[in-house]
Amino acid sequence: ECFLCDAVRSPKEEWREKLVLHVGKKAFVIFNKYPYNAGHLMVAPIEHIGNYLALDEETALEIHKLTQACIRALQETIKPHGFNLGYNLGRAAGAGLEDHIHFHIVPRWNGDTNFMPTLSNTKVISQDLYELYDRLKPVFERCYSK
């Protein structure tokens, strides 16, 4: 089972538990459960699509509109200094899930690297995912309605 499909198809009452921030017509936003940094979001098509070239124009446009809203909401809520954005297409490119494409939005701060990944293969995330979800959700909805 695809964890993205499972999350987006779950009842609306379970979206917070599954960290689904928003569901649109063709795409949705979900928190990464194993984030690189606090606020690491993913935007994915609702349809189970593994080939970027198979995205129809409406889905591709919605993914990018949702990405803009994510950036606005993250800027307002947690004030990162920058972002890494992108797809990992294929195992060789680092895709952990190859059959359901998803666009990563990773907030970055000056000096956000430290010794933990080097010494212990561990990343320290200083904010609870559900706490950030609750803070980000109303800001995201306002930003997406613009």
Q: Are 101 and 89 in contact (CB under 8 A)?
A: yes
Given 22, 40, 100, 102, which residue is catalytic?
102
* DSSP category for residue 83: E
User: Annotated catalytic, 100?
Assistant: no
Nearest by Cα to 30 from 79, 76, 67 = 67
Could you give the 3-state DSSP secondary structure of residue 4? helix
Structure tokens belonging to residue 71: 């950036």
**Which residues are catalytically annotated?**
102
